[in-house]
Amino acid sequence: MRYRLMKKKDHVKQKFLGFIIVAIIILLSACTLVGPQKKSPSDSTNVSRKIGFEERKAEDLLKNSISIPYPDGKIFTPTALSNDGIAYGEAIDQGHEDQNYLASMNLRTKEFQKIKDVEKTSNLTHVAVSYVDHDIVVFEEYDQLNQTGIYYLWKIKDKSLTTLIDRRPIGTVPVTQVARSNQKLFINYEVGDSLYQMEEFDLETGVHQTIESGNSGFPTVFKDCLYYVQIDNTTLTTKIVGYSLSDGQKKVIDQTKDDQRYYVDLLTNGHNLLYLVANNKDASFTFENKNHKKIFSTSQAETSIYRNIYLTYMGERRSEERVKSQYYLWDLKHQIHYLYDHGPILLSDKGILWIQFKKKDSEIPKGEIYRNENSVMRYQEW
């Protein structure tokens, strides 16, 4: 989940310690990262049973995944997955660690392709993929040292590159979200002092326009509307706004009324819209079209993805032995919680890419997950 933080009094901030994620910034201007509570697998089982979900081993679902080693001589970190079975992410060539680049890998054919070298304005310049589909990639090159960032649009078929936005300064860790409806892109990005605005970009004409100048986030296209969360730093409330794609009219769909709960993410698989609502204890995934029926609550949920019938996110560790981040995988249609203990998960409408550890996670050095001696990519289509 991606929290952007509003400025609040210290006593209010204290209620969020242990719940807010420091790397993602929407509702409080400063917070403390607190280590996860230590839980055992039996604790997780009790939670699953309590909410009516069957608990199964992830191997039951993922046993037919194919293994895909990382390309020889390269370190490839996949961070986005398209319906075409293509993974996108940052890569470097071993022996040339000073030059990173955006790359793709076809998980069906195992073809690896360099897309663009990063323009190294400092040794802290990286590339982040914000959006992919069958014909475009939106990514950002950001320099943490010089606090600059440039957004690019890569058209896959004709291999053309367009600069979308050149921004300065940026925050230390940029948090950019992109949604698409036909030839319109909706980009939510930081414009300064932790203020995020929503901009529309026309892929045909190249015209930009700001559609939300107030602090906002989580653009999600669902049916005939763009939905997003608007954050009011004065009243300390959040609103879900629906922006009509046909006439540009805005409508407040729902809002929080005090500082006890906040909308902190919106997710869709194209058929359902999910809200993620946080209070001072936990966060709950709820269905928008079922009178906000709570699916389940969790103490922590970062980088949530909802595709097909599956939901994944990064949450608190389930056991004391876990060192690396813990990832969760849920089947919302059949109410199954798959116990998963490997690396990051990426979802598309048609498949799953997951990172299988070859060693205990505690034996993999920090920053060395994506090496053939430590892990392997696994891919499965539904």
Number of H helices, E strands in the chain: 3, 31
CA gap 218, 177 in Å, rounded: 6
User: Which pLDDT belongs to residue 26?
Assistant: 36
Mean pLDDT per 10-residue section of the chain, whose length is 382 residues: 38 29 30 32 48 92 97 97 98 94 97 96 93 96 89 95 85 82 95 87 94 95 96 89 96 84 94 92 84 83 96 94 95 96 97 97 95 97 95
CA gap 187, 231 in Å, rounded: 16
**Structure token digits, residue 315:** 């949450």
CA gap 228, 273 in Å, rounded: 12
CA gap 253, 378 in Å, rounded: 40
pTM over the 0.85 mark: yes
Q: What is the DSSP string of 40-76?
A: -HHHHHHHHHHTT-EEEETHHHHTTPEEEPPPTTEEE
CA gap 244, 265 in Å, rounded: 19
> Contact 219/186 with Cβ under 8 angstroms?
yes
268 sits in which H/E element: strand 261-268
